[in-house]
Amino acid sequence: VTVLEAGERVLSWGRNTCGQLGHSSKADKNFAPKAVVFPSSRTQVHKVACGEAHTLILTVEGSIFAFGDGSAGQLGLGHDKGASTATLVDAGDIMAVPIRSVCAGAQHSMAMSFSGEVFAWGCAEHGRLGLGSGLARTAPVLEACRLRELPRPAEVVSAGGQHSAVILEGHECFFAGNNQFGQLGKSPQSTKQSSSFQAIAGSYRAVALGGDHSLLLGCDGHVYSCGRSHRGQLGAGKVTDGFSSELRRVAIPRGQEVLAMASGHDHSIVLTRGRQPKEQSQVSPPVQQLMTSDVPSAARTAPEKMDFEEVPDLPVEAGICAGARFTEMQMEDLNNACLPNPGSPASATSSAATRPGFVDHLSSLFASPTSLNASFGIPGVRQARLDSEALVEAFDKFWELESWTDKQRSQLRSAAAQGLERWAGDVKVSGKAPRLTHRDQVRGLAVLLLSPMIKDIDQSSDAYDLMCKLVGLTSSLPDSGRAALTELVAEDLMAVLKNVVVKRVRGFCDAAVRKAMKGPYGNQGNDRMPPEVWQGLIVLDLLSHANDLIQGKLQKEVLVAGAQAGGQDTFRRTVSRISGNSSSGIPGLGSRGHMPDANQESDLPIRGGAFWRPEAPVPAAHFELESLVEGTLPAEKEFLLFVKNASAEVPSFETLLKLRPDDPKAQSFVAHRRLVPANFLRRVLLVENTFRQNLQAQQNFQEFLQGALQGGGFNIGPNGSLNLNLDTSKFVLPIKVRRDHLLEDTLQVLQDAAPADLKKPLRVTFVGEEGQDAGGVSREFFKLLGEQLFSLKSGLFDKAIADDARVLWFDRNSQCESVDYWLLGVALGLSVYNGSNGLDAQFPVCIFKKLMEEPVQLEDLAEICPAVASSFRTLLSWSAPEGMSSKDAEEFFVSTFCLDFSISVEDSGKTVIKELKPEGKDINVTPTSRSEFVELYCQWVLVESVTAVFEPFRKGFARVCGSPLLQAFTGLELSRIVMGDTDLELEHLQPKAKYEGYTAASAVVVWLWSLLKELDKNQRKCFLSFVTGSDRAPVGGLSELQLIIQKAGAATVEAGRIGEGGKVEMLRLPTAHTCFNTLLLPEYSSQEQLGTALRMAIENTEGFGLE
């Protein structure tokens, strides 16, 4: 086989019994060269390799074509059939991988990617493929398998008769396969064959394998050989026994520099160049020679010179077409393309980027997965990396050139779409995930995410369609492919993850949701969302996982950096001394334990920032869909999706990352928990609660109706109508309470209520008040209940912790009954279940984490015991002085901190020792066990010590809130639902405000909004309570509420008369319907009059009445 015309033509001749000539001829022999047939006339060849009866062709795109005998799987087509024309090799692990080099053995093949990954396929006898002992086999390997056991990237690959070799970075050579004649460089007596690649001693630059022998070019410039030598193929003179397992130096004449080597079945050839003195090197070109050791009429055992009249410059690797370079593109090419055309002024808008030749080149790049996977990389320690910032800048620069036409942009998007279809293969036909499992196969997907072709999805249908294909392929990746892509994103795309990648994918998801709601799903009640919605959500989940990986990596780097800095600097730390007999209610460290005093300078080396937890590069809120925040998707539709598709189950994030987009469990927004804003999730929860309440009401009515029909609980009216003696209290949970006996009355009602009653709609009545509960009275009830329950006066909470940390934490020594904690949990559950805007409960977040069964840690301890947590951080960040031995460091640590695995606690007024582990008081805390000590301490304080009081609280909460949907909330989000949002910016009510009798331009309305902006924080809380019944904002802030401003007549009324004709007018105050968030606002004559009335109303009101 020969390559002509810079790789654009390939000719072959000779034996063709298996189609190894590749031009579809049925003749067994071809005496004249004929052109090899390729699927595309544009194919340009970079390298060829010939086996016993098969041929491999490597194109400039990095793709492999094969033809010839396939009975041993050596074609890598996924079957054992042969091929008489060039057929693309894309089965197995090699799919879409950019290949830099190929080699053909007798009946097996090998390839090396741009990043140094090695692939092998074909006959596996004698372990020649090097797949490892766990994959040792004799059956043919029909598709390319990646060699996962190689410790470093490869630089050279070679295949022989029944053995293989690779040279890795660092010039280390590894062999695998048959060793019958010592061709692996090892004794046949000790190693008959090897199914794993094993290293040999020495450093090497090149290797060439024959049928049963090996040639190696050492870094010292000498050629070495081993293996069979019965025909002199080792070139090292006569060898006893006809083979040698020891490396022998080939007798290359002195003064010759070896440029390249090649081995046939029983012969060898070496390309050399004569070394010239330095002073002559610029005068005459070096003389090139070919040194051979082959088999003419008699075997030659030493190299001999081959004379040529003229020997042109030859490539250093056999089979390469020097004029055919790979088509991968680098950032330099993009940047250069943006420069003005030669001869044009610097201000000209035309450039190489918009010339047809460059556009065609770029189009072919995007249409070829292998070329794109090989492009825009920079050298890395282990493999090629993407400089994401520079790439985005270069992409945007050339995309924004004024000379670009819409046709050219469409051409590039069309080419990228074709490339994605080639990437996906037959996934639509087979239904199986594409075999994209490692970084070399998916790097181009990251490049597409950075490309400007997907920027304008709202303005360009081509961009939207391209993004559909991109997320479709990405979401269909197998688990290993997803892992490879997320690791690539975490390592290479961190700098642009927030503002480019996440922004684009989230923007697509929002666009897909909006488009779906405008289509059949939103207009005709179709129950199936378009597939691109779920595909986009899965890709966004993968990016969220990459964000986690970055945060974990940053944390690890901080710890390593802290360990390296330890012993170099001494820091002044403010830490708290923890006494063994603490009066603060915080468990002490026992009689022996102590910490550095807060007022003394510590001489203990501290790891700078070792306890600091770095933030992820992308805040969690940036993953949340704006389309859900703005209400594009009704919560009712999501509830149906959650019940129908996800079976009312919220998968764990680990499970979600493995779901395919067509899996029904992935076809619910709630399932993609990280992408759903808490306020939307709260709406869905309220829909579910309403659904359950209605369902309970229907069941109650059916039971009543059945009983009435059986027991005569009805009568016929005079006009023939059916009158049911219906007790409406059976359909609600009536709570009738006295304001001055709120706790006692509430506890009695809740204790008497059945579990099913607690899930009925609330109807609260305050004794002596006429207000009808349509929501506002309930909010007032929860507000007052919270003020009494969630206070130190209730006796439920630890006063010392409240004073120190300003949070409410359970008092493990409380004298209250368990039922009191149960009531606390029920009240909390009712607040969530009935959609109350918030309770005035100053709980730490860790209480809600415990309710959601999330693990607690040192950060949670800091909420209730900040001084202890600070001391523990110091303890964890301590490192030994530089130069101190491990034994001395441990002794120094133990003598300094004097800690053991016991703590002193206060129990019924007495101080007792609590062991954190068996025999803990006799076990010293050491540098290696300090983390365990802190973990056990946190577990005892946050979990074990309060179990007796927390369990009834948890049961009370669960008695009301047992919905699977609640499991979608995190502890932090649940805390926001219970305690409300901190947003008290009343102007956030303005965009959604509704006016009845007024308009937004009415003078009174304009004055009102101006006055609301001037209110202080307490006045804002009073206004909010006056209008809505709660001084807390719902999750998502005040923008979640709709305020109704209703005209309520004149500003004054006649209050009486004085004498004849005189009258007294009284200023009317604003009133409110809290159930409907309605403010009844009289028409005041001035802003001052309105301000006076408004302040009087919000500061002097309590109770409910009817007009």
Catalytic machinery residues: 1075
> Using an 8 Å Cβ cutoff, are 36 and 62 in contact?
no
Question: Pairing mode, if any, of strands 118-122 and 1062-1067?
Answer: unpaired
> Using an 8 Å Cβ cutoff, are 498 and 547 in contact?
no
CA dist 460 and 464 (Å) reads 6
With vertex at residue 964, the alpha carbon angle to CA 958 and CA 966, rounded to the nearest 5 degrees, is 70
> Using an 8 Å Cβ cutoff, are 665 and 649 in contact?
yes
CA dist 304 and 251 (Å) reads 10
SS3 (DSSP) at 854: coil
Query: What string of H, E and C letters represents the secondary structure of 265-291?
Result: CCCEEEEEEECCCHHHCCCCCCCEEEE
Burial class (CB in 10 A: 0-12, 13-18, 19+), 484: buried
CA dist 130 and 150 (Å) reads 10
> Using an 8 Å Cβ cutoff, are 509 and 625 in contact?
yes
Angle at which helices 971-979 and 678-711 pack, to 10 degrees? 70
CA dist 505 and 501 (Å) reads 6
Residue 264: partners with Cβ closer than 8 Å, 6 or more residues away = 210, 211, 294
Distances (CA, A) of 115 to 119, 420, 1001: 12, 21, 66
CA dist 600 and 573 (Å) reads 8
Termini Cα distance of the chain: 101
Kindly write down the DSSP assignment for every residue of 300-342, as one continuous string: --S-EEE--S------SSTTB-TT-------HHHHHHHTSBPT
Closest CA to 153 of 386, 379, 483: 379
Residue 545: CB atoms within 10 Å: 22
With residue 230 as reference, give the H or E element that holds it.
none
> Using an 8 Å Cβ cutoff, are 625 and 677 in contact?
yes
In one letter, which amino acid is 374? Answer: A
Burial class (CB in 10 A: 0-12, 13-18, 19+), 860: buried
Question: Pairing mode, if any, of strands 29-35 and 9-15?
Answer: antiparallel
SS3 (DSSP) at 435: coil
> Using an 8 Å Cβ cutoff, are 158 and 210 in contact?
no
Residue corresponding to tokens 């320690």: 381
With vertex at residue 569, the alpha carbon angle to CA 563 and CA 571, rounded to the nearest 5 degrees, is 105
> Using an 8 Å Cβ cutoff, are 22 and 35 in contact?
no
> Using an 8 Å Cβ cutoff, are 109 and 73 in contact?
no
> Using an 8 Å Cβ cutoff, are 538 and 574 in contact?
no
Query: What string of H, E and C letters represents the secondary structure of 535-579?
Result: HHHHHHHHHHHHHHHHHHHHHHHHHHHHHHHCCCCECCCCCCCCC
> Using an 8 Å Cβ cutoff, are 242 and 229 in contact?
yes
Angle at which helices 971-979 and 818-833 pack, to 10 degrees? 90
SS3 (DSSP) at 143: strand
With residue 788 as reference, give the H or E element that holds it.
helix 776-789
Closest CA to 185 of 237, 226, 218: 226
